[in-house]
Structure 1
Amino acid sequence: MLNLVLFGPPGAGKGTQSEKLIEKYQLIHVSTGDLFRAHVKNQTELGKKVSQLMADGELVPDAITIAMLEEEVDKNPEAKGFVFDGFPRTVPQAAELDLFLERKGSKIAGVIALDVDQLELTKRIAERHKVSGRPDDDAEKLKKRISEYFDKTIHVLPYYEVQGKLNKVNGMNEISTVYNHLCAVIDKY
């Protein structure tokens, strides 16, 4: 099973690249952000719990995030693998993901970090907000999400680097160039 973590700050292109990768490698895309938004939209119990956190740009507690992710993985027992997008965001989440996959007889094959500078991120998300109207893309929430990534989430990378699973790809290039670089990395697995 090919399990990948696509890592990067908001606006780095994880969603765009995930779409292309799941088609090529026939993987299941698991985006915690998409899952949270779906739960909020459908006003599930989980959606009610996380709605205010997301509205404030806060991270959802690990226990809720992990339970939701495990539920999503378990829905796809025949999957060839998964692309985890937006997860893990903390070292404890990374450790829990490893334990969960180990119980399923699997593991993370690799972690690919999309490197994009903060100026470009701000520009991309402003454009995305115009098109999609995502409430978590407004200017103030965006600043908080980017800050959260660079202050907290980025510290997950050394966890995977020690395991020899970390690869970095320049996310500042054209979409097709980034995709080709991602494929070159994935093909090694």
Structure 2
Amino acid sequence: MMEAYLKSVQHQLAYYKKIGEQAMAQLSDAELFWQYNTESNSIAIIVKHLSGNMISRWTDFFTSDGEKENRHRDIEFIPDFSSRAEVLACWDQGWNCFLGVINALKEEDLSKEVTIRQEKHTVIAAINRQLAHYPYHIGQIVFIGKMLRATDWQSLSIPKGKSADYNAKTITKNQS
């Protein structure tokens, strides 16, 4: 059962990473930095926050608190990228750290305890915490992208009004 859980987690995380990348690929450089207002976050800021969280939580995962002393969370919300390349490098750095740990986990690791903000979690609880957090922010990236691109947006899932077509294709594919 635990092996199936790990495979499911790995699959879901790869899916959300891909969704974020596909959303950002549809946007211009300027759109990555667009903010609705000063209280909202740009996609670049969301990426910076996700990466900061991933690096803090998953570096030395078993041996140190997931909220590292050198992490300055509030700085993650200050825009300071100047290019798409910097945003994508930050994205890759966070995901590489996170997925490196996730993909190396063994079934026996899942019942071990780790600490996040001085609170004990099983590895399963720590993973589940991130399975809620990261897709939440990737949903924000997609939502911002859809607002900006409007009718030029290429759906990353089943487009509106196309459920029947999708279902028919899925049924046909599964029957062959």
More helix by share: 2
Q: Return the index of the structure with the highest Cα Rg.
A: 2
More strand by share: 1
Same fold, judged at TM 0.5 (above): no
Between the two structures, name the one with larger relative contact order (CA 8 Å, sep ≥ 6).
Answer: 1
